[in-house]
Amino acid sequence: MSVGGATFALMPFTSDPELTQLRVEELDAYMREHVDDGERLVCARAAGCRSSIEPGGNFYEGQGTHVGAHYDLTEDGVDWRVMVIGMETGRGDEHVSIAERTADQNRAISMTFNQRHAHMRGTTSVLRTAFGREYGADRAGELLDLRNQGEVVHLMNAYALVNLRLCSATKGTGYRSAASSILSSNCFPHLVRTIEILEPTLCIMQGASIYRDIACRIATVEKIDANLEVAKFGRHQTLFFHGNHPSAGSSTTGYGTASASPYFLQTVEPAIREARRRWFKRS
């Protein structure tokens, strides 16, 4: 099928929203007990994180995770669950639940590709690749036809968006991070538990700096190339891509652009396609 210049094969997708809801409930219970109960930060490492930020920095507590209602997806009969891992939200909202984070994601879904900010444009592009689509700004390439549900859903309703840092530290009134690597290492056990609950088949980490923060704590099972490996987080093994943030630097080093950047075409897209090839060949 060709839409807006993009050509892709429409694979048969099905979803299991009931299973996804069970995962959300388990993750929500974990977060409320170990991270943020909806009114206060209960994380045992909170004091260390707060004291580690740069002088004058802002600290925003408990910012939750988005899990799309159709996260438990199968493509051509093969399980395919996609998780994107960012750094931190960088915003001032606090005690944000999973449901509230998903509502925020719905606002991005309602926009056109070019209306989204750089992070969401880059996330859209990497999700298109992860679900077997070509790069593009067309709406049709962002939609999945779920055969068993009898409906068409957006890519962002079929993935999980998790931040490594579940609290944000920023400088001044902007989004520039004031966080140290201590926040990354302190939050890493929460990321591990999130991955164990959601059991992604592909994790896409956005941000070279956060990968450096935790690389020594990730168990590499197989190194595929410089940015792609099979990794183990706690009890769960997954394909794992790590690279630049979509809005990193310029159009040559990031990929949150209106047109495909060299970094996307030469690094991101080939690695994600290789991850798909390996997973679906194995399955």
pLDDT, average across residues 162-189:
84
Structure token pair of residue 9: 């094969």
What value, to the nearest 5°, has the Cα angle with vertex 9 and ends 7 and 12?
Answer: 150
**What average pLDDT score do residues 156-167 get?**
96
Phi-psi region of 219 (alpha: psi -120 to 50; beta: other; left: phi over 0): beta
Going by C-alpha positions, the residue among 198, 233, 205, 200 that lies closest to residue 219 is 233
96 Cβ contact list (under 8 Å, min separation 6): 62, 63, 64, 89, 104
Nearest CA among 25, 30, 156, 15 for reference residue 99: 25
**What angle, 0 to 180 degrees and rounded to 10, lies between the N-to-C axes of helices 17-34 and 98-110?**
130
pLDDT band, residue 10 (cuts 50/70/90): low
| 205-231 pLDDT per residue, tens | 999 999 999 999 999 999 999 999 999
Burial of 204 (0-12, 13-18, 19+ CB in 10 A): buried
End-to-end CA distance of the chain: 25
Residues paired with 49 in a beta bridge? none
User: In this model, does residue 175 exceed pLDDT 70?
Assistant: no
> How far, in Å, CA of 35 to CA of 27, rounded?
11
Confidence of residue 92 (pLDDT cuts 50, 70, 90): confident
In this predicted model, what pLDDT tens digit does every residue of 16-49 receive, in sequence order? 999 999 999 999 999 999 999 999 999 999 999 9
Which residue segments constitute the domains of the chain, with CATH numbers given? 12-282 (3.40.470.10)
Residue 1 has pLDDT above 50, yes or no: no
Per-residue confidence band for 170, with pLDDT thresholds at 50, 70 and 90: confident
Q: How confident is the model at residue 283 (pLDDT cuts 50, 70, 90)?
A: low
Q: How many residues does the chain have?
A: 283
Contacts of 24 (CB under 8 A, 6+ apart): 67, 98
Name the token pair of 33. 């007990």
Q: What is the pTM of this model?
A: 0.93
